[in-house]
């Protein structure tokens, strides 16, 4: 996770974290909905149900927006959204390089 808590890194790419201002109960409810929607999408795809897949995809998107992982950013300091950017090409480059260096040392 980046030092400011906005992103986590997977294979060098930044992914926006959920909004930390959400209550634990609300976050849990939304994550549960997200998992149900992802499961429904998988079932629809295995069944070649295009309409079901699209409906489930919309549920996934709605849950991710509600969690703050998509759509308008949840921080208010004017910093840009770097979601899906390579960390090495962002202001987090120095931090990320130091993390990678620590991994190499182990």
The pLDDT score that the predictor gives to residue 68 is: 98
Does the structure show a pLDDT above 90 at 102? no
Give the start-to-end residue ranges of the domains of the chain: 1-17+79-106, 22-68
pLDDT at 37: 98
Locus of tokens 């929607």: 37
What pLDDT, on the 0 to 100 scale, is given for residue 14? 98
Which pLDDT belongs to residue 77? 96
The residue among 55, 63, 60 whose CA lies nearest residue 38 is: 60
> Tens digits of per-residue pLDDT, 42-81?
999 999 999 999 999 999 999 999 999 999 999 999 999 9
What's residue 38's pLDDT? 98
Euclidean distance between CA atoms 83 and 62, whole angstroms:
17
Residues 44 and 52: beta-carbon distance below 8 Å: yes
* Mean predicted lDDT score pLDDT of the chain: 97
């Amino acid at each position: 996770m980046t030092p400011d808590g906005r992103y986590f890194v997977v294979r060098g790419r930044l992914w926006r974290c959920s909004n930390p201002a959400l209550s634990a109960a609300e976050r849990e409810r939304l994550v549960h909905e997200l998992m149900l929607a992802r499961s429904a999408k998988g079932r629809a795809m295995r069944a070649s149900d295009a309409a079901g897949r699209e409906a489930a995809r919309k549920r996934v998107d709605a849950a991710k927006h509600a969690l703050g992982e998509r759509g308008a950013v949840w921080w208010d300091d004017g910093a840009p959204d770097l979601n899906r950017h390579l960390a090495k090409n962002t202001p987090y480059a120095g931090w990320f390089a130091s993390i990678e260096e620590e991994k190499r040392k182990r």
